[in-house]
Homo-oligomer: A and B are copies of this chain.
């Protein structure tokens, strides 16, 4: 018995939409949006999609019409009653009513703003311009759409059983990683893989596998929709976007620029407490960030290490806490850059006894298809969606890895001077 009605209903879809919900996004995006709502409701910001992997010719792989259909579909989405109820009522990190009614009213009425799409050679130029709080919402859905359209393009060549074997191998690979994670004492790990996932269904599968394989050691997912459906905690704090835009808004005044990254945290702690008070030091270079950080930042709950050598980044944070009389064993370090099982095992062996460690596992959880498709066509690649300007001023990210730096060269030079960044070791960016 086929469900004939289901089949007929399915036939009515013009496309198979990739992003089907306003909250199929990272939790930190909503947390940041609330802070923007409070502090910069009128700032105008431009975001742009950047493919750091030239060897993946997105515009040859993905049809422009299909891409537009997917982006247009996102613009039809609205927060549903159930999603709103879940956001309003849920407990995050033990705190109820994290989102205040005014912000929820805004979110309920939110529609994704227009996008600008142009083909440039083998790449697409995709930009989002408008009020910061609107344009910022595009980041995760735009990345997820590009990633999944690329997945679909590559998978179109495969036969039914080749597809089954592809997924069988990918599932086996994840499970073997999970079995190795089971051996790590005191593990706390969560899914940060929404943005560069292979596909929505695959992210959902990976999350379920983590639930069964790790139980309470799996703390949750950054994807709000999956957190809601799978009855998990939504995980996340803040991202580079905040200091990048704050710095750009500081204008040409070097002194104002130097203070901007700390102003972000001042604003943030008015909205959030506890586990949400995690500093992200690498936007302007971690060493300089900690060197000039005011005392009160040492009271925060922890730090997220998102570029450069992760062990070195953690040591810098630990030294900062010790310098300010804080016990590192009471602090949380979240590793979230380029994690895979080997790296996690190595970091865990080194830091598990010295700080509270957790892992925000991204691309190599939700998109590890390396070596599984013809010509390695599904290998993850480095696609980002970054703030490029705010109120007409360019946005800059230095990062602890110069390869990941974004912004015009002269502004990067100025930031390096203002934030006292010296030589940085370049590391290959895989994902």
- A residues contacting B by CB (< 8 A) are 1-3, 5-6, 9, 159-162, 164-165, 167-169, 171-172, 175, 208-209, 212-213
Contacts and interface: CB of A to CB of B under 8 A. Distances in A.
A168 B172 contact: yes
Contacts of A209: 161, 164-165
Instruction: Specify the main secondary structure of chain A where it touches its partner.
Output: helix
Contact of A164 (B1, B159, B171): B171
A201 to B, nearest CB: 13
A160 B6 CA distance: 26
20 contacts: A1-B3, A1-B5, A1-B9, A2-B3, A3-B6, A159-B212, A160-B208, A160-B212, A161-B208, A161-B209, A162-B212, A164-B171, A164-B209, A165-B171, A165-B175, A168-B169, A168-B171, A168-B172, A169-B172, A172-B172
- This chain: copies in complex: 2
Nearest to A1: B6
A212 B161 contact: yes
The 5 A-B residue pairs with the shortest CB-CB distance in the complex, in nearest-first order: A3-B3, A168-B168, A161-B212, A168-B171, A165-B175
A6 to B, nearest CB: 5
A172 B163 CA distance: 11
A164 B171 CA distance: 8
Contacts of A3: 1-3, 6
A26 B2 CA distance: 29
Given A161-B208, A161-B213, A168-B169, 9 more contacts: A1-B6, A1-B9, A2-B3, A159-B212, A161-B209, A164-B171, A165-B171, A168-B175, A172-B172
Name which of A3, A159, A165, A171 has the most chain B CB atoms within 10 A of its CB.
Answer: A165
A155 to B, nearest CB: 15
A159 B171 CA distance: 15
Nearest to A167: B168
